[in-house]
Amino acid sequence: MVKKRSASNMTQSASLFWTEDMDHILINAFIHEQSIGNRPNGTFSTQAYDNIVKELQEAFPEKSVDKDKVKNRIKYLKKGFGSCYDIFKNATSGFSWSPHTKMWDAEPGAWASFIQAYLQAKDWMNKPVPHYESLKQLFGKDRANGDGAETPTEMRQRLSQQRCVAEGDINADIDRMATQNGTTRETDDENTNSSPEANKKYKTYKEEVQEKLLKGIECVSDAITKSTDALVKAHTAKLSMPAKEIYQHVNELGLDPMDKKIAYRFLTENANVLEMVLGYPFEERKEFLMDILSRY
């Protein structure tokens, strides 16, 4: 039986299989190009890509490496790094990335607390993150500055998770406020001295406070939802151009089949980018578009 290749080792152009050694050389080549100034304004220059392709071709002459495949691979690695970095940048000092296991390491108690606040962290408990520190050199600053940071959809998912945690903590907060207010908590303990009147008073107080807290959470959540919806609409505004015509423009660029699908879908959903791409000189338009796609 033929062993299937892992999706994590495949570029968007299915003709090249990336090995761990290839990724290592690729990432270090990008770091080198960045260090010698070939990444002005956060975008790698054409010279940088030419140098990286040449280095990979010399290291792996049996592989069919070209600029598009390099761009696709670093885009894939950047996306995987970003989803991990956006979670663990919030981790406490008890967490560390191990270069030996290539995984995040922490005590069970630290994991439990962190997962309660960031549910997606659970996915990374036993999942390796190869080249994390090297990718951080390349893209950590971008994530911190918000370039390529979480999307509005990701933001809403995170806020929804945090809201569930907040609601779960409400009873504890109510107990604390009830104690400060001189109200006794209801209990089933046979030795309690709480009277029925005290229990009734606590129930009323609890319901009032809980209602106020939940309303506050809902107001904040609604406000954030409205603002992120506005961002989504602005980001995905459509240009008054038929989809068929957009496809014709994409088809003229000579992209490989997978890149063509990605570019077509992206341009039909992003009017501002479409307008910008069509305004670029045709002979340089393909490279310009691929540079844009590599940043998303």
pLDDT value of residue 206: 64
Q: How far is CA 258 from the centre of its chain?
A: 22
Distance from C-alpha of 270 to C-alpha of 215, rounded to nearest angstrom: 36
Question: How many angstroms separate the Cα of 33 from the Cα of each of 27, 190, 263?
Answer: 10, 73, 26
The first and second tokens of residue 274, run together, are 């479409």
Q: Left, alpha or beta for 149 (phi > 0: left; psi -120 to 50: alpha)?
A: beta
Residue 65 and residue 57 in contact, taking contact as beta carbons nearer than 8 Å: yes
Least confident of 31-45, 135-149, 176-190: 176-190
Q: Are 68 and 290 in contact (CB under 8 A)?
A: yes
Q: How confident is the model at residue 12 (pLDDT cuts 50, 70, 90)?
A: very low
pLDDT tens by residue, 122-151:
888 888 889 999 999 898 876 655 554 444
CA 215 – CA 208 distance, rounded (Å)? 11
Task: Provide the pLDDT for residue 45.
Answer: 93
pLDDT digit string (tens) for 241-293?
Answer: 888 888 888 999 888 888 888 888 888 888 888 888 888 888 888 888 888 87
Residue 34 pLDDT exceeds 70: yes
What average pLDDT is seen over the chain?
A: 76
Per-residue tokens: 276: 């910008």
For residue 261, the model assigns a pLDDT of 84
Residue 56 clears pLDDT 90, i.e. is over it? yes
Q: Alpha-carbon distance 33 to 49, whole Å?
A: 9
pTM above 0.75, yes or no: no
- What does the pLDDT read at residue 275? 85
Distance in angstroms (rounded) separating the CA atoms of residues 217 and 163: 7
Q: Which segments of 169-281 does DSSP mark as H helices, in order? A: 170-180, 196-235, 243-251, 257-269, 271-278
- Return d(Cα 212, Cα 23) in angstroms, integer: 53
Would you state the structure tokens that stand for residue 11, as one six-digit string? 């570029």
